[in-house]
Structure 1
Amino acid sequence: MFAYILKRFLLMIPTLLGVLLLTFVVIQFVPGGPVEQYLAESKAGVQGMGGGDSGAGEGGGLAYRGAQGVDKQRLEQIKKLYGFDKPAHERFFQMLGQFARFDLGRSFFQNKDVWALVKEKLPVSISLGLWTFFISYLVAVPLGVAKAVRAGSRFDFVTTLIILVGYAIPGFVLGVALLVIFGGQLQWFPLRGLTSPNWDELSLMGKVTDYLWHITLPITAMVAGSFAVTAMLTKNAFLEEIRKQYVLTARAKGLSEKQVLWKHVFRNALIPIITGFPAAFIGAFFAGSLLIETLFSLDGLGLLSYESVIRRDYPVVLGTLYLFTLIGLVTKLVSDLCYVWVDPRVKFD
Structure 2
Amino acid sequence: MRTDDKLDQMEERPTDRVQPPPMTATRLWLFGGTLAVYLAIVIGVLTTSWLVTLDWQVMFFRPYKQWPEIHAFLDYFVVLGQRGPTAVAVAAWLGWRCWRQRNLHPLLVLGASLLLLNMTVGAAKIGMGRLGPHYATTVGASEMGLGGDIFPSGHTANAVVTWGVLAYIATTPLRRRILSVIAALGALGVGMTTVYLGTHWVSDVVLGWAAGLLVLLAMPWLEPGITWVEDRLMGIILRLWLRLRPDSLRGPLPVGMPAPAFSRQRPASEGDVLVRETIGAGTVGRTAPGRPQDGWPHHATRPYAIRSERSPAAPTGSRRPPHADRVPRTIPLSPTSGRGRNTTG
Larger relative helix fraction? 1
1 or 2 for the larger relative contact order (CA 8 Å, sep ≥6)? 1
Could you state the TM-score of these two structures normalised by the residue count of structure 1?
Answer: 0.22
Query: Considering only CA atoms, is the larger Rg found in Structure 1 or Structure 2?
Result: 2
More strand by percentage: 2
